[in-house]
Structure 1
Amino acid sequence: MTEHERRVKAEQRERFDFAVIASWLQPGEHVLDLGCGDGRLLRYLDETRDVTGYGVEIDPESVLACIRNGVDVIQMNIESGLLGFEDHSFDRAIISQALQTMHTTERILTEMLRVAAEAVVSFPNFAYRSNRAAIAAGHMPVSEDLPYDWFDTPNVRFFTIVDFEDLCGRLGIEIRERLAFDEAGREVADDSNLNGSLAFYRLGRRS
């Protein structure tokens, strides 16, 4: 796959990801987007759901891109927690296809549900059938949702739908809704850990 083809496919997948997340939000919600990159998700949510909120990003160039995109952004390292944000100050905290690039997974999930009534998480499922086939053939997988070669990937955590749900259980996090889709964008109902390439979750604090 050429770099141009990779970029086009990534943009198409990104728009799909944004649309799924937007479908869970109500107009006018106050949201926090963690690892927001250049702010495109927040701009999309503002345009489609009239949300307010902030992006959080550590990379200086991405912070500047957020500003150019008209997105309110705070430069900070979310690995260290969300100090400065009060409890229950947002309707939703979102981390879109970035949790796998983080080291402090448990802290991030816990902090999301401290500052927001609900967390929205999306991530690529490492146990997807084509990823399993690649590993069985002796290679690290490269796919629509894991588009990087092993030597240049930003991902530091490779986990599955089952792994993620096990972690939620250990942390006392309630899974309120899950959606899984294959690489063609079709919703998966049967054995999502095998047939789902991309997973989306609505999470809440267990009462």
Structure 2
Amino acid sequence: MNQITLDSLSLRSDFRAIARWVEPNSSVLDLGCGDGSLLSLLAEELDVAGYGIEINDAGVLACAQKGVNVIQQNLEDGLRLFEDGSFDFAILSQTLQTIHQTAAILRETVRVGRECIVSFPNFGYWRHRLTVLQGRMPVSKTLPYQWHNTPNVRVLTIRDFEALAPEVGIEILDRAVLHGGQSIRWGANWRGSLAVYRVKRS
């Protein structure tokens, strides 16, 4: 396991899990990289050579201000810029739920990355289920938006992802399920609010 300064990775709990799986001095592609925080931390802690892909103007500007290499592109257009296995790691960090072409993007992710890391909010978390039973859409730390202004176009659970993986040619290598930054060891699909997977092309 890589030695990571946890204080510097406390911005988001999935960053810790991701950093544990990324090898030092590796090449990384962060798909939907936002403001570049994850790539910036991985570069600082693990000396990775990284590129981010981001569509939002503000995110691209923030990446540039952090010195993060970024390409402004819509992920829905695919990853034709990159050859098979172009990167040691390709990362979809809480991006999967924001894209329409889920299966296609997952196939592209495992095509360009020798290994890939995927994280997403777990809609099966018990508080989310309870809120839906009460007639409302959930709002939480992992799903922080109201239904009318959310960037999310999909909701999925841990079981949903694990059922989809073999259908799109993905082999699951490892999994971390979290809530409040703590690892969830049992009852993951209803006790965990965030899931992180290490995967590769099968």
Question: TM-score, length-normalised on structure 2?
Answer: 0.92
Map of 1:77 onto structure 2: 74
For residues 139-158 of structure 1, the aligned pairs below 5 Å read: 139-158=136-155
Percentage of pairs with the same residue? 53
- Does 2:127 align with 1:135? no
How far residue 16 of structure 1 moved from its aligned partner, in angstroms, is: 2.1
- Contact persistence 2:10–2:16 (CA under 8 A): no
How far residue 70 of structure 1 moved from its aligned partner, in angstroms, is: 0.2
* 2:16 alignment partner AA: A
For residues 54-65 of structure 1, the aligned pairs below 5 Å read: 54-65=51-62
Map of 1:7 onto structure 2: none
- CA-atom RMSD, angstroms? 1.3
* 2:177 alignment partner AA: A
- Does 2:119 align with 1:122? yes
How far residue 84 of structure 1 moved from its aligned partner, in angstroms, is: 1.2
SS in structure 2 at match of 1:158? coil
**Cα distance change on mapping 1:159 and 1:15 into 2, 3 Å:** closer
Query: What residue ranges of structure 2 are gaps of 5+ in the alignment?
Result: 1-8
CA distance in 2, matches of 1:135, 1:29: 42
Aligned residues: 194
Question: TM-score, length-normalised on structure 1?
Answer: 0.90
**Quick one: which of 183, 187, 193 aligns to 1:191?**
187
How far residue 108 of structure 1 moved from its aligned partner, in angstroms, is: 0.8
CA distance in 2, matches of 1:171, 1:87: 16
CA distance in 1, matches of 2:102, 2:77: 11
- Does 2:26 align with 1:29? yes
How far residue 125 of structure 1 moved from its aligned partner, in angstroms, is: 0.3
Map of 1:53 onto structure 2: 50
* 1:50 alignment partner AA: D
